[in-house]
Amino acid sequence: MSFADLGLSDELLRAIGDSGYTEPTPIQEKAIPAVLMNKDLVGIAQTGTGKTAAFVLPMIDILGHGRSRARMPRSLILEPTRELAAQVADNFEKYGKYHKLSMALLIGGVQMGDQVKALEKGVDVLIATPGRLMDLFSRGKIMLNDCNLLVIDEADRMLDMGFIPDIEEIASRLPKQRQTLLFSATMPPPIQKLAAKFLTDPKTVEVARPATANINIDQQIIEVRSDKKRDVLRDVLRAEGFKNAIIFANRKTTVRDLYTSLKRSGFAVGQIHGDMEQPARIAEFDRFKNDEITVLVASDVAARGLDVKGVSHVVNFDVPWQPDDYIHRIGRTGRAGAKGTAITLATREDAEAVAQIEKLTGMKIPRTGQAASATEAVEPAEEKPARVPRPARQPKPKHGSREREQPQPERAAEARPAPVQQPLVERELEPADEGGWNGPLPSFLSVGLS
């Protein structure tokens, strides 16, 4: 399925093309046609699945017809945090570049005066956090009588932050005859109630969470000391049967460091992470597809939606913080009926995260002795950091994509004393001895973004 099949305008398709997206994500595929038909919609899909574009894209086409009036926004998007609101605004700018839509952002921390000025001119899209909107509303600075499209985004997060009463208040001031869209990663009862109260005969589209791993994937855990991870990784990349690999790390700093280190070791390596713009990520990915590189180091953010056939190995250089991510990561191999190997490097501190993964997949992942030499020594107790839970959502400074490798955990992790790193022994690569992985990939290898 391509974006062109969804009924979007040519201008929009052009802007989507410019942004580098080649295919809609499942939630986009399901939601966009319904929104274009002016249906109320409940969209449920886990974090990072592209829910923003699922409403921003059809909204641009809907709002493309008609004009704004002073102080009466034509549509309203509610976001739980100002960072998320800013991301949505970025999305409107990116996809709306061939449309003439006006937009105002009503969030804390921005001069109220400027926001009011923008509103007075009249806007097509108002993006707001509930608190700031209520504030302006109570001062009579804004009228919602003409607002025929309401989006309640990140509804479960709104619930966590105590915004439901505000949302009810706001929704009840909008015209009854309107289109309402609600997006959420989960649907706890209070959100179901909210949907029942403020949506009319909504279509519900849901993308199931991946809960089980593919049986074609041979999963292994290598227990390793953190200062031996790189050595073990090199062994994996040089082992027999290795053809190519995507290596996942939890932080983009690790992605960069690993990339540099592997390159120095002579591997044909590339990297993708959240600091790179989409076109740069795709270019790097194309190098992987075209066999110019056989190792791709990636962060979760950048790797989302990558569809590659013919990847022999996925290596988790770090155990992912969220068990869902594990399934997502290892699913990059073993595609289209092919066999794949997924190797996870786990230190003692990862025991809890590994247990979570095994609980989710309902299976015990075999531990291998492959790295026996690297596991004999125990880690000094003082190196054990407190596990920092990853926040559910995090803002990104630029261009609207979610940055999970950047926020708190990274900072928290970097605040702790650096682990003792052994100097790396960099061996020169001898392609003839590498089990043929440097050779051409089979012809069925194909790559695309899904």
**In the complex, least distance from residue 26 CB atom to Mg ion, rounded to whole angstroms:** 15
Nearer to ligand ADP, 254 or 299 (CB): 299
CA gap 247, 115 in Å, rounded:
44
**In the complex, least distance from residue 169 CB atom to ligand ADP, rounded to whole angstroms:** 24
Helix, strand, or coil here: 73?
Answer: coil
Q: Which two tokens stand for residue 254?
A: 């690790």
Q: Sheet harboring 340-346: ordered strands across? A: 269-272, 295-298, 245-248, 313-316, 340-346, 217-223, 367-368
Spatial CA neighbour of 427 closest among 293, 266, 190, 282: 266
**In the complex, least distance from residue 154 CB atom to Mg ion, rounded to whole angstroms:** 5
Instruction: Looking at residues 51 to 70 of the shown chain, list those that interact with Mg ion (rule: CB under 5 A).
Output: 51-52
Among positive and negative, which fits the CA dihedral 427, 431, 435, 439? positive
Binding partner at 49 among Mg ion, ligand ADP, none, C-beta below 5 to 8 Å by kind: ligand ADP
Binding partner at 283 among Mg ion, ligand ADP, none, C-beta below 5 to 8 Å by kind: none
Please, are residues 244 and 361 in contact by the beta-carbon 8 Å criterion? no
| Beta pairing partners, 184 | 44
**In the complex, least distance from residue 157 CB atom to ligand ADP, rounded to whole angstroms:** 10
Q: Which two tokens stand for residue 298?
A: 């990636």
Beta strands in 212-359 (DSSP E): 217-223, 245-248, 269-272, 295-298, 306-308, 313-316, 340-346
Spatial CA neighbour of 402 closest among 48, 6, 60: 48
Nearer to ligand ADP, 32 or 245 (CB): 32
Position with the least CB separation from Mg ion: 51
**In the complex, least distance from residue 426 CB atom to ligand ADP, rounded to whole angstroms:** 34
Interface residues toward ligand ADP, by CB under 6 A: 21, 23-25, 28, 45, 47-53, 304-305, 401-402, 449
Binding partner at 285 among ligand ADP, Mg ion, none, C-beta below 5 to 8 Å by kind: none
Nearer to ligand ADP, 19 or 75 (CB): 19
**In the complex, least distance from residue 107 CB atom to ligand ADP, rounded to whole angstroms:** 17
Position with the least CB separation from ligand ADP: 401
The residue count for binding Mg ion (CB under 5 A) is 2
Nearer to ligand ADP, 28 or 254 (CB): 28
Binding partner at 394 among Mg ion, ligand ADP, none, C-beta below 5 to 8 Å by kind: none
Nearer to Mg ion, 154 or 410 (CB): 154
Task: Give yes or no for residue 304 binding Mg ion (CB under 5 A).
Answer: no
Binding partner at 244 among Mg ion, ligand ADP, none, C-beta below 5 to 8 Å by kind: none
Nearer to ligand ADP, 50 or 331 (CB): 50
CA gap 251, 273 in Å, rounded:
9
Nearer to ligand ADP, 395 or 419 (CB): 395
Q: Hey, what amino acid is at 220?
A: Q
Spatial CA neighbour of 204 closest among 219, 218, 222, 183: 183
Binding partner at 50 among Mg ion, ligand ADP, none, C-beta below 5 to 8 Å by kind: ligand ADP
Beta strands in 357-427 (DSSP E): 367-368
**In the complex, least distance from residue 449 CB atom to ligand ADP, rounded to whole angstroms:** 5
Binding partner at 47 among Mg ion, ligand ADP, none, C-beta below 5 to 8 Å by kind: ligand ADP
Spatial CA neighbour of 44 closest among 203, 184, 198: 184
CA gap 185, 209 in Å, rounded:
10
Tell me which residues touch Mg ion (CB under 5 A): 51-52
